[in-house]
Structure 1
Amino acid sequence: MQLDVVDDLKQPEYTGENRCEPCTVLNLVIAAVVGSVIARKSRLGGVLAVGVSIALIYLRGYLVPGTPTLTKRYLPPEVLRWFGKEPDPAVASGLGTVDSTDRPAAGRETTFDESDAVASTDTDAVGDESTADTDEPAVADLETFFLDHDVLEPCADRDDLCLTDEFETAWFDEIDPLSESGVDVDAAVDAFGFDADPDEFELETRGESRALLSSAGGAGRWPSRAALIADVAASRALETWMDDWDAFDPETKGEVLNGLRMFLETCPSGGDVRMGEEVVESCCTSHEVVAVTCEETGERLFEQRLTDVDA
């Protein structure tokens, strides 16, 4: 019974690696103040109050209800930096979004322009690729690139761009087996064209998201297993679709794949997709994003910080 009570009190979303140090310090200060007030009338009562408070903070991450929400909403970024916390939670957009700064990415309909989908990747941190090689092809404009390679075409039922039937079929021919087997490190490294040994990388699961990491730094972060599968499958499809796909560097491949994922109308795990505004949270902060989500599973295929979206 006692163990059941302890388990009921535990809140993993606010403890362990998810613990918000500013919340903890604030609540410990409150516990000390309350304990000292009670101790004026009863020293034993004060000690018990502090002990119970510390136990609750340890198990729950906070003592005062609503502390995490209030901290995320009102705590100044400077205070978060004192505790080694970034004021903005990471947005998982794909290749190049771990330990890097995202530039505006693609959208749908009239919300924002798909041709602006760009991810910045520090290839020096994850492989031996050189951006100085002028023989490597470049993509000046994603919309033109997709149209020129018969990946996209004007939609028949609205003023927008849609996947061509042929490319959508080729893409899902690659998605279907990956949905069964999943994506391992070798498949990810090969898909993005890193000139490095796959043993130098690690594919890490962080809740729903997936992160491709190396000993030198991060390569990318995807909001879900489905998003990573979509990118790896798209790379494989483009390898047979284009003559020079293998010649593109990882940064350019990431740019193309991050933008292309926005055009999926069927989730890799099945069902339709929808676009809307959602919230991305870390231990101490939160912000709104424009997100593309699988309706049946809730997996997020893409997210872009709302403040980076041109209305």
Structure 2
Amino acid sequence: MALVSPLDHVRTLAGRLRRPEYTGDNRCLPCTVVNLVLAALCTAVLATVALSIAALFLVVSLLLIYFRGYLVPGTPTLTKRFLPDRVLALFDHHPAPAASDDESDLDLERVLRRADAITPAADDEDVRIAPEFRRTWHERMAALRERDPDRTALAPVLGAAVDDVEFEDYGDAFVVRRNGIHAGQWESRAAFVADVAGGELLAEWSPDWARLSVSERSAVLGGLRLFLDRCPTCGGPVMLETDTVESCCRSVDVVALSCQSCEARLFEEPAEDVLG
């Protein structure tokens, strides 16, 4: 009969305590911060009574927060109610960077017009993607899928050296930083394929591309994505709609372009930024 060591008992207990839906990659940072602050305050109060009790309470609190995610039941509701949205945004699991200074004067439509990427619609009050650009763009995306490049293929498209960029993952989305500064965000593999192919094409067609900064190129490519009529990876139809992105303790209304077949998110921006 095999003997069970004390360490095995500890591991079993830890496994029973752990709540994977609230820990690891699923851990909500605002909720964790709130719980740590509450634990520290309670520990300070208990320390006025007995240091040993305060120390025991602190250890138990930290273990519960580590293994279960929360110390206080109902933490997401408390966090959403009492923390300002601007504070929650600092800890959000979704990338939500502000536009950089060099994007403020960017005339995105002018850049795409001068590249012959878009053209006036029939009513002359709107724009649509130019047929020749659309055809060539889809050919590039198909060729790119066959090459199946990794994410570093974005670096030359953005005009950056591979060694200067780093990636931060947010589920299916990821953010690119260049020398620690935000350079762009991509909501899915499909968005990545669209932008690498689009960037390679704009480098040939756009008279402005060479002078654009990294963040400006990222903004142009994001705008170009709005003209997609089918998914770059599965070929399914795409739809522009409003949606609500939910995290543990925060809700954000967004304007999103998504594939109706594979559900890949191709574009996403806060609704207040797009609709005003």
Moved more, 226-235 or 251-260: 251-260
Structure with bigger RCO (C-alpha 8 Å, 6+ apart)? 1
C-alpha displacement of 1:53? 6.5
Distance 1:218 1:26, change over 3 A: same
C-alpha displacement of 1:254? 2.6
- Return the letter of the residue paired with 2:149: G
Structure 2: runs of 5+ lacking an equivalent? 1-10, 47-54
- 1:7-26 equivalences under 5 Å are 9-15=18-24, 18-20=28-30, 21-25=32-36
TM-score after normalising by structure 2: 0.70
C-alpha displacement of 1:259? 1.4
C-alpha displacement of 1:77? 5.8
Which secondary structure does the structure 2 equivalent of 1:308 belong to? helix
Distance 1:142 1:220, change over 3 A: closer
- Return the letter of the residue paired with 1:264: L
Which secondary structure does the structure 2 equivalent of 1:264 belong to? coil
Any conservation in 1 of the 2:259–2:266 contact (CA below 8 Å)?
A: yes
Which residue does 1:44 correspond to in 2?
A: none
Write the distance in 1 (CA, Å) between the matches of 2:91 and 2:244.
Answer: 12
TM-score after normalising by structure 1: 0.64
Which residue does 1:182 correspond to in 2?
A: 149
Greater helix share, structure number = 2
- Return the letter of the residue paired with 2:150: V
Aligned length: 256
Any conservation in 1 of the 2:112–2:206 contact (CA below 8 Å)?
A: no
- Return the letter of the residue paired with 2:244: V
Which residue does 1:225 correspond to in 2?
A: 189
Any conservation in 2 of the 1:146–1:152 contact (CA below 8 Å)?
A: yes
Which residue does 1:292 correspond to in 2?
A: 257
Moved more, 59-68 or 264-273: 59-68
Could you tell me the percent identity over the aligned residues?
33
Any conservation in 1 of the 2:165–2:179 contact (CA below 8 Å)?
A: yes
2:138 corresponds to 1:172:
yes
Structure 1: runs of 5+ lacking an equivalent? 36-46, 103-118, 123-138
Which secondary structure does the structure 2 equivalent of 1:176 belong to? helix
- Choose from 236, 240, 249 the match for 1:275: 240
Q: CA RMSD in A?
A: 4.2
Distance 1:143 1:202, change over 3 A: closer
Moved more, 235-244 or 261-270: 235-244
